[in-house]
Amino acid sequence: MRFEIISDWNKARARISALRGKFKSPVFRNAFKLKPYKCDFLILSDGDRLLGAMTYWMEDRHWHIGDFDTAAGTHGAGNLLFERFLRDHREKIVLWCWDDNAESFWRYISKKNLRPARKIGLTPFGTTKLQLKEAA
């Protein structure tokens, strides 16, 4: 398995498009229709097969995870992405939830990684924003 960090929106889109596989939800398809925003992409692949991807950025001394999705037919790729992110980013982390499924996923993943999440408000899109408990 391979993790790639790409800081350029167009290069990330090209890399994701080049990998075989489709995301489980329309998160990235919708994200790529919108105006690009300043972020890094963490992309997980296995050979030429897409396993998952996420966007993240630093804002107000917190790491924010925005778009996050895994490829259809994968199991555990979301946790692998999150664990890889946690390895390098132990500070305060804010999770953007695009819907109830995303919020449930983040609450499960955060509990599994012993970093419980609490609601801290809403994203600019009116969806839930969670903050992880800081690492001990």
Domains of the chain and any CATH numbers = 2-132 (3.40.630.30)
User: What's the mean pLDDT in 108-113?
Assistant: 89
Half-sphere exposure of 96 (CA within 13 A, CB side): 19
In whole angstroms, what is the distance from residue 130 CA to residue 120 CA?
A: 6
In whole angstroms, what is the distance from residue 130 CA to residue 126 CA?
A: 13
Which helix (H) or strand (E) covers residue 12, if one does? Answer: helix 9-18
CB neighbourhood size of 95 (10 A) = 25
10-67 pLDDT tens trace: 999 999 999 988 888 888 878 888 788 899 999 999 999 999 999 999 999 999 999 9
* Prediction pTM value: 0.91
Phi, psi of 93 (to 5 degrees): -130, 130
